[in-house]
Every structure is written in structure tokens, then in C-alpha cells.
Amino acid sequence: MNERRGLVVVVEDESSIADIARLYLVDAGFGVHVSRDGRSGLADIRRLRPVAAVVDIGLPQLDGLDLVQHLRAEQNWTPVLFATARDSEVDRVLGLELGADDYLTKPFSPRELVARVRALVRRAQRPAVAGPVRVGHLTLDSARRAVTVGGRPVTLTATEFDLLAHLVGSPGQVFSRAQLLAAVWAMADVSGSRTVDVHIAQVRAKLGHPDPIRTVRGIGYALDVS
């Protein structure tokens, strides 16, 4: 079974291209969410915070160039790979100048698409923290995949650890259930939000009191830094 590599949003209005991109990316271990037009693609990237986005330039409602301009103006640096039928040097330069990270011309090899996405994700990932991270009484060591609370070892499943590590990585930041599904499970299906609640409850039960995870009503969860 492939290791989960994170969620990729594919913004593509041509079903055949979207389907083949989904097939190969899923086979490579990515979760995939497909958006069929520029406006919904922009909203989905904002909402899901994927590890990367594959964006067609010629989209209905909002073209890919404008979509990326909106993201970068908001200081959203999601890695973006443009996939487009336009192949002139002017278009390539314009796309990169507007904030895209890479450019792939149709028709393209699905394997090259996967390779380019993998490269984008590798470049965007922050280097692992050298030592354990401490927040209050909680200590999380990513290298050893170990957690202690007040010196007491806590045994977590792989998914529970990944969920807690995501919260610990940005203490105080509020993550919606959709964002946690995308980051930890590589899922974009909002029907899976109950999965997040169940795992949060399991982590809380194992960590004990004081509870370091704060529920933000109507939104999601954050690691309490107080």
C-alpha cells in the first residue's frame, strides 16, 4: 500500500484529463479532489489547503492565471503546476511570473505529471525539526514518533500521531475538519468529518488532563498554547 502523500486539488474542466490525473496521482499515493471550474477550484484550494494543485489555464468562470493571482495575493503559497494546451514561451513565462511553480503542456505523460507533483511537494515541505517539540506539558518527537505528557509516555496509533503532529506543528492555529481531513487522511469528502471528531476524542482520552486540544465551535480544533 502506498504511503499517504497528501491531498492534491486538480482544477480541470475536461473530464478525460481530470480522470487520468486522478488515476495516476492516487496510484502514486496522493489523495485527489477534482474541481471543474476556476471559482470552485479557488474555493477548494483555500478550504482544503492541499499539498499541491494542478491547474488548467483555460477554465470556465475564472481562468487559471487569475486563480493563481488570487492565491498569491492572499499569501497562499500552495505549490501550483499549470497544465495547459498553451505552449508558447510567452504563456509559460507569464504563468511562472504570476506565481505558478511549474508548467506542463498538454498532451502530457501522466507519469511526468506525477513526477512534477512529487517534485513540487518535496520542495515545499519544511525540513523536519531536529529535536522534540514541546508545547506546555506535551512533548512530540517526530523522528522517534514518540509522545509524552509530563514525562509520561503516550501510545498513539499512526493516524492519531499524524493528527496530533499536525496540530503541534502550528500551535494556536485553528484547523477546520476539512483541513485536517486533507492534511492527515488526504481526503476531501466532508462526509468524513466525523472521522476527525472520533480521532480527536481518542487522542484526548490518551493525553489526559489538562486537555491540550481546544475545540473551536463551528470550525474545528487547535492545539492550546496557554
127-177 pLDDT tens trace: 444 568 888 889 999 888 899 998 899 988 877 888 999 999 888 999 999
Q: What is the mean pLDDT of the chain?
A: 86
Residue 89 has pLDDT above 80, yes or no: no
Domain boundary among 77, 95, 124: 124
For residue 102, being part of any structural domain is answered with yes
Measured at the alpha carbon of residue 105, what is the angle toward residues 102 and 108, in degrees to the nearest 5? 105
Distance CA 109, CA 21 (A): 10
pLDDT for 1 equals: 41
Q: State the CATH number of the domain containing residue 152.
A: 1.10.10.10
Same domain as 120, residue 152: no
Show the cell assigned to 143. 523522528
For residue 146, being part of any structural domain is answered with yes
Q: Please say whether the beta carbons of 186 and 159 come within 8 A.
A: no
User: Domain limits at 153?
Assistant: 133-223
Same domain as 140, residue 119: no
Q: Please say whether the beta carbons of 107 and 16 come within 8 A.
A: no
Same domain as 105, residue 81: yes
For residue 1, being part of any structural domain is answered with no
pLDDT in tens, 58-80: 899 999 989 999 998 898 888 89
How many Cβ atoms sit within 10 Å of the Cβ of residue 146?
A: 15
- pLDDT-derived band at 45 (thresholds 50, 70, 90) equals very high
Instruction: Provide mean pLDDT across the span 36-57.
Output: 95
Q: Please say whether the beta carbons of 80 and 104 come within 8 A.
A: no
Looking at per-residue confidence, does 116 or 39 come out higher?
39
pLDDT in tens, 176-203: 998 898 888 766 766 667 788 888 998 9
